[in-house]
Homo-oligomer: A and B are copies of this chain.
Amino acid sequence: MSDLIQPKVLKGFRDFLPADEIERALLMERLVKVFRDYGFVPIDTPALEYSEILLRKSGGETEKQVFRFSDNGGRDVAMRFDLTVPLARFVAEHKSEIYFPFKRYHLGKVWRGEKPQAGRYREFLQCDFDTLGSDSAAVDFEILRLIKKALNELGVSNFKIHVSHRGIFNRFLKSLNLSEDSEEVLRIVDKLAKIGEDEVLKLLTDISSEESAKKILAYISGVSKELKSEDFEKTLSHLENLAGGPDEDTKRMRDIYALVKAVGIEDSIVFDPSITRGLDYYTGVVFETFLNDLPSIGSVCSGGRYDNLTALYMKECITGVGASIGLDRLLAALELLGHQKTKASFTDLLIFSLPEDDLVLSYKIVNFFEAEKINAEVYPEPKKMNHQYTYAEKKDIRWGLFLDKDSCVEEFDKAPQRFKIKLKDMTNRTEDETPLSEAVKKIRASKN
A→B interface (CB under 8 Å): 1, 4-11, 13-18, 21-22, 24-25, 32, 36-39, 41-50, 52-53, 56, 64-65, 67, 69-73, 75, 77, 79, 88-90, 92-94, 97-101, 104, 109, 111, 113, 122-123, 134, 136-139, 141-142, 145, 258-259, 262-264, 310-315, 344-347, 359-361, 363-364, 366-367, 370, 375, 377-378, 380-381, 390-391, 394-395, 409
Contact = CB atoms under 8 A, between A and B. Distances in A.
A148 to B, nearest CB: 12
Given A15-B43, A39-B375, A142-B378, 16 more contacts: A7-B90, A9-B49, A16-B45, A17-B94, A18-B42, A18-B104, A21-B44, A22-B41, A37-B375, A48-B111, A48-B123, A73-B113, A101-B380, A136-B380, A142-B380, A258-B360
A141 B262 CA distance: 57
B13 A46 contact: yes
Contacts of A138: 359, 363, 378, 380-381
A136 B98 CA distance: 52
The 6 closest A-B pairs by CB, nearest first: A69-B69, A138-B380, A18-B41, A39-B377, A36-B346, A16-B44
18 contacts: A1-B315, A5-B52, A8-B50, A8-B53, A10-B77, A13-B49, A15-B43, A15-B93, A17-B94, A37-B346, A39-B377, A46-B123, A64-B72, A67-B71, A72-B113, A138-B381, A258-B360, A264-B367
B5 A53 contact: yes
B93 A4 contact: no
A93 B45 contact: no
Contact of A22 (B42, B77, B113, B377): B42
Contact of A94 (B15, B70, B101, B347): B15
A10 B75 contact: yes
A313 B7 contact: yes
A58 B138 CA distance: 55
B123 A71 contact: no
Given A10-B50, A134-B380, A395 B15 contact: no
A75 B67 CA distance: 12
Contact of A47 (B22, B109, B315, B367): B109
A115 B189 CA distance: 51
Contacts of A11: 73
A4 B46 contact: no
Given A7-B314, A10-B77, A77-B10, A113 B18 contact: no
A394 B45 contact: no
B99 A9 contact: no
Contacts of A99: 390-391, 394-395
A51 to B, nearest CB: 10
* Most central of A46, A264, A344, A375 by chain B CB within 10 Å: A46
B41 A344 contact: yes
Contacts of A79: 47-48
Residue among A67, A141, A264 with max Cβ neighbours from chain B (10 Å):
A67
A169 to B, nearest CB: 25
A43 B16 contact: yes
B4 A313 contact: yes
Nearest to A311: B1
Contacts of A145: 363
A4 B109 contact: no
A89 B380 contact: no
Contacts of A378: 138, 142
A9 B113 CA distance: 22
Given A17-B98, A38-B375, A72-B64, A313 B6 contact: yes
A93 B8 contact: yes
A45 B77 contact: no
